[in-house]
Amino acid sequence: MTKKWCFVLITAMLFLSPIRAFADAISELKKEVEGLKTKIELLEAQDEETSSQLSDLVDISGYADGEFKLTDHETADTRSEFRIHHLSLFFIKQLSDKWRMFSEVEFEDAPKIEPSDNTDPGEIFVEVFTLEYSHNPYANFRLGRFLNPGGIWNVEHYPPFVLTQEKPMLVGNIFPKTNDGLQFFGSVHDWNVTTDYMLYVSNGTGGNPGHGDINSDKAWGADLGFKLPFLTRTEIGFSYDRENKDENNDEVRILGVDARLHWNDLQLQSEYAKKYTDQLSGSTDQTIGWYSQLTYDWRKWTVGYRYDWYDPNHRNDENRTITNTVALNYHFTPKVVGKIEHHFIKDESSSDVRYTKTLFSVAVYLGH
């Protein structure tokens, strides 16, 4: 072989070696890419399976709050103390496009329950348990235990989202807190006005509401609400509840009206309720309560004032209670809020007793 051909052969070998190495590298990269594609497909399949499994689970959320109370009027029922107030758990399950389950189990005052006659104070209460069927915006049904729709506070009472730990005096004392029965509800939107309506029939009050009705008559009620494009937004509601025979065989009728006006960061909220109790003796007792509350939101702060008036027996002029409340909230995060509230209380039912109460609290929302 001549020198010329040796030189050509060596040059060709030097030129082809990098190409062959590059081709081998490309082949290895292709193998790695195919392996990664296989892994991605496996991960996607696992993700779909995990999502499917999660969709079959019940969504759990809720809220918790604790407080410290100071008062200058200490009695057996009111004293300065720490209080583990609520731990409420929400269980939500979307059963299908039409069916939904919602339940709230409330642990109030951290009850300790043992097989003993000496049970510490506190309560475990299934506050809400409903099965809902959504047919369309106009006609829906709810079966089970639901919050009575009378007023605003009873429905929207959750501590992370209300101004004070202490609720207005009429809440729970005029309209019942909950109803066990059947509810029909819907909503209509026309001319920038939303109309919400609700009708219900239930066991009524007294006894164990979750099992057995203590009288042969059923309670029934209705709630009608309007959302109007006045100011930023205006909400007005009217409520009615009637129990033909309560646990004392008295006839009870309740009327209520509520309003909430929003103007930018300023909000005015007010409720009025009146209960007529027609006794077997022929006399009629009247219980009346109302409050007005003004709040202003500024960045993470909420400041508010409430005037609260309650008369458990309107025929007696010396049993009213009047409370003036000032409150300040600070939202550490959207789910954690600290509260300071100071109450000036005038109790005319106890020789015109006047005292104050201050609460420091933290409320936490456990939802998404």
pLDDT tens, residue by residue, 217-232: 788 999 999 999 988 8
pLDDT tens per residue across span 309-323: 999 987 776 788 999
pLDDT at 23: 59
pLDDT at 165: 96
pLDDT tens per residue across span 1-20: 565 555 555 555 555 555 55
Q: Tell me how long the chain is.
A: 368
pLDDT at 124: 80
Long-range contacts from 339-347, C-beta under 8 angstroms, 24+ separation: 339/67, 339/163, 339/164, 339/165, 339/363, 341/163, 341/164, 341/165, 341/166, 343/166, 345/73, 345/321, 346/321, 346/322, 347/321
- Sites in the chain below the pLDDT cut of 50: 51, 54
| pTM of the full structure | 0.81
Asked if residue 130 lies in contact with residue 103, where contact means CB atoms within 8 angstroms, the answer is yes
> Tokens in use for 187?
């909503």
Cα separation of 329 and 321, whole Å?
25
pLDDT at 102: 92
Q: Residue 304's beta-bridge partner residues? A: 295, 327
Alpha helices in the chain (DSSP H): 3-55
Judging by DSSP bridges, how do beta strands 81-94 and 59-71 pair with one another?
antiparallel
Report CA-CA distances (Å) from 211 to 145, 205, 206: 11, 12, 11
What one-letter code names the amino acid at 193? Answer: V
pLDDT at 349: 72
Give 80-133 as a 3 state SS string.
CEEEEEEEEEEEEEECCCCEEEEEEEEEECCCCCCCCCCCCCCEEEEEEEEEEE
Q: Residue 231's beta-bridge partner residues? A: none
- Torsion sign across C-alpha atoms 293, 88, 86, 347: positive
pLDDT at 256: 97
